[in-house]
Structure 1
Amino acid sequence: MRILLFTGKGGVGKSTVAAGTAALAAAAGHRTLVLSTDAAHSLADAFATTIGAEPTQIAESLYAQQVDAQLRFEQSWADIQHYLLRVLDVAGVDPVAAAELTVIPGAEEVLALLELRLHALAGGWDVIIVDCAPTAETLRLLALPEALGWYMQRVLPVERRVVKALRPVLSKAAGVPMPEDTVFDAVERLHAELEEVRALLSGPQASVRLVMTPESVVLAEARRSYTTLSLFGYRVDGVVANRIFPDDAGDEWRAGWVAAQDTVLAEAGASFPGLPFWRSVYRAAEPVGVEALVELARDVYGDSDPLATPARGGPFKVVRTSRGAVLSLRLPGVTSADVDLARNGDELVVTVGSYRRLLTLPAGLTRYRVAGARVQDGELQVRMEDGTS
């Protein structure tokens, strides 16, 4: 099963390109599902039909779904929310306000991805294409499972034991109810489900495709997204440059836009070395409906296979040496000055800009020390050597 995620800055035509790719896959005979996890769904607009919270058949072999994030939120967050409501009730918070306070911002979008897990477990699909939220939300979403994993491994077990042992005393002293086992179970269940999603999306059959328009600001965000996705172990398999003015500009104003876009496109080509770089020209009419979307996708991908599996080998690897090992992490578009590296127990803490990833060292390397690090050809290389020698 091939899984493709589409993301990009808001307004670049991400949903249209995702819908076109799905329509082209279905036209080739693949049983295809395209689902939107973006809170501002627009798949129905692209296909010019009504799409529900369950897979809706659009054409032969083509199904679409706009995930009901509220429903997923209620299913996965109910036990936790009920506990929080009890705490706020004791504190005298108005019930309506309490209900709003127990909804974590962005949680609905995160939980919407759990729908992908259900479809993957059920089988029956050759291709699943995900129309994600704009890049900033998508990056936070994809970083969450690993961050939650750190909490689950180090904090939750201790917290659960303490609360279980001291629940009667704490409840009486604090005057508020302490969480029951069902609350901890719900957190653990949610983490397990999100971890399955992370494993799916970082696996060999999954990849992320960036959509951009030929504008300097959009290109800068696409480059940052490429770096950050690599930091968290997700493969980027290509870039689609959308809404390119045709060369036959008929007046000075359009000729100026063509020249400006050509400059950005040349820079974009150099920004993603080794990645397919597809182009989509501005069309005379907005591509709406299955036929128009298939035509768009055929023009974009040409003779290339839009479902080609990304090259083997993930962004993170370990190579043994005579003195220890070298850990390599692909970080395209950065220099040594952009990266901060620290050691914390059996973890390496890698910080790039405002994003931080905790890399747990393989068991055989925990006694090794960091002997040096550098960024070369878009790759962070950390040299580990035996600390006892």
Structure 2
Amino acid sequence: MALILTFLGKGGTGRTTIAIAAAKRLAAEGKRVLLATLDSGPAPALLLGTPWSTTPTEIEPNLKAVQLKAAPQLESSWEELKRLEAEYLRTPFFKNVYGQELGILPGMDGALALNALREYDGGGEYDAIVYDGNAGLETLRMLGMPEILSWYIRRFRQVFLDSDLGKTLSPFVQPIASAVLSVDISGDNFAQPTEKVNNMLDEGKAAVSDPTRVAAYLVTTADEAAIATAKYFWGSAQQVGLTVGGALLNRGSAGDAIADGFSPLSISTIPERSGDWMPLMEALPDFRQATAAPRSITVDVDRRQVSLFLPGFDKKQIKLTQYGPELTIEAGDQRRNILLPPSLSGKPVTGAKFQNNYLIVSL
């Protein structure tokens, strides 16, 4: 399994430049590296000085690069969908729809990129994958997909089973499904057709929450708007369970002046590139130290407390609700549903406070 690194920051702060420098640094250390970008334009090739392709292309020893273009990815994924449909349905109805006909809808590129990263990671060919996304919030939504989709499957499956409609139809669904489907969907086997998806989502959630597997770094300049945006992405990253390992001050020398705003993260000052990549590579932090950064959530069963690390937000920007057995935390434009351990599941909230960048919820 590979370490997946990504970089979050306002447009124009140099995320792509930092991503290339990080990939070169890891490759120079002897790691097998894939540099993947969602930018399908010419800018990445101009920066790297080498044309990129939609298939991994060797750039230098230990380093390959790939452009994640949505159209060919969708075509490939559609064929896989048709294969799965044929596995479960005796009369497939997507067989006459061809991937070459499909256009890209908003949001598809992120989902396709996440699937591509999963496949490259699972192939075992790389020690590190450096991902250069289009924008910080889009990258966070992409990495948050496994948790969000698993919630939809978990909640809507249970809603159906508990509903009068589900109870009424359940005696009739199984014999009908047996005639049409190749699976048993009764009782605990209701989710059998989606078992592969559930396993994949669980693996994705575990990877995103593990800083030895996936980590992000903030990229900013000394510009006030860039600093504020980086702080916003820092807090938003916690809402998808992603560890932010540090902050990178690009093209600046005022690291001490902004350090307090990003405490307890370390600040690395990155010089402006002037043709030579080596100064940038040497200025980058040790990415293995991301494990020392604050984790997004801790659950203390004995004290019946849940603590969420939410930097970049104040108390007025955070909303806590509990409509069902899970806690829902809203901060910025991100919403997170927290599945509690069995001993705390369904317990009502008895108190909450926000201090030192932590939301502490008592149950």
1:232-267 C-alpha deviation (Å, 9 max, x unpaired) = 2110001111122x7xxxxxxxxxxxxxxx5xx566
Q: CA deviation at 1:52?
A: 1.6
* Residue pair 2:34, 2:65 contacting (<8 A) in 1 also: yes
What is residue 239 of structure 2 aligned with on the other side?
Answer: 231
Q: CA deviation at 1:189?
A: 5.2
Q: CA deviation at 1:111?
A: 1.3
Judge which range, 345-354 or 311-320, deviates more: 311-320
1:133-154 C-alpha deviation (Å, 9 max, x unpaired) = 2112112222322221121112
What is residue 76 of structure 2 aligned with on the other side?
Answer: 75
1:306-360 C-alpha deviation (Å, 9 max, x unpaired) = 4434227732111134xx5111111113332221111122100111132211111
The 3 A distance-change label for structure 1 pair 66 and 181 is farther
What is residue 208 of structure 2 aligned with on the other side?
Answer: 201
* Residue pair 2:243, 2:290 contacting (<8 A) in 1 also: no
The 3 A distance-change label for structure 1 pair 79 and 21 is closer
What is residue 90 of structure 2 aligned with on the other side?
Answer: none
In 1, the alpha carbon distance for the partners of 2:75 and 2:54 equals 14
2:279 to 295, 318, 326: 295
What is residue 257 of structure 1 aligned with on the other side?
Answer: none
Q: Which runs of 4+ in 1 moved over 6 A?
A: 79-83, 157-166, 179-182, 184-188
Instruction: Give the residue type in structure 2 aligned to 1:294.
Output: M
Instruction: Give the residue type in structure 1 aligned to 2:19.
Output: A
Give the 3-state SS of the residue equivalent to 1:369 in structure 2. Answer: coil
In 2, the alpha carbon distance for the partners of 1:52 and 1:312 equals 35
1:145-184 C-alpha deviation (Å, 9 max, x unpaired) = 2221121112257779779968xx9xxxxxxxxx9899x9
Give the 3-state SS of the residue equivalent to 2:269 in structure 1. Answer: strand
Instruction: Give the residue type in structure 1 aligned to 2:311.
Output: P
Give the 3-state SS of the residue equivalent to 1:65 in structure 2. Answer: strand
Give the 3-state SS of the residue equivalent to 2:222 in structure 1. Answer: coil
What is residue 353 of structure 1 aligned with on the other side?
Answer: 332
Judge which range, 184-193 or 345-354, deviates more: 184-193
The 3 A distance-change label for structure 1 pair 123 and 331 is same
* Residue pair 2:243, 2:293 contacting (<8 A) in 1 also: no
* Residue pair 2:232, 2:313 contacting (<8 A) in 1 also: no
Root-mean-square deviation (CA, aligned residues, Å) is 3.6
Count of aligned pairs: 335
In 2, the alpha carbon distance for the partners of 1:22 and 1:14 equals 12
* Residue pair 2:36, 2:65 contacting (<8 A) in 1 also: yes
Identity over the aligned pairs, expressed in percent?
Answer: 29
Normalised by the length of structure 2, the TM-score is 0.79
Q: CA deviation at 1:114?
A: 1.5
Normalised by the length of structure 1, the TM-score is 0.74
What is residue 292 of structure 2 aligned with on the other side?
Answer: 311
Judge which range, 330-339 or 305-314, deviates more: 305-314
Instruction: Give the residue type in structure 2 aligned to 1:347.
Output: E
Instruction: Give the residue type in structure 1 aligned to 2:62.
Output: S
Pick the structure with greater CA Rg. Answer: 1
In 1, the alpha carbon distance for the partners of 2:79 and 2:181 equals 13
In 2, the alpha carbon distance for the partners of 1:105 and 1:320 equals 41
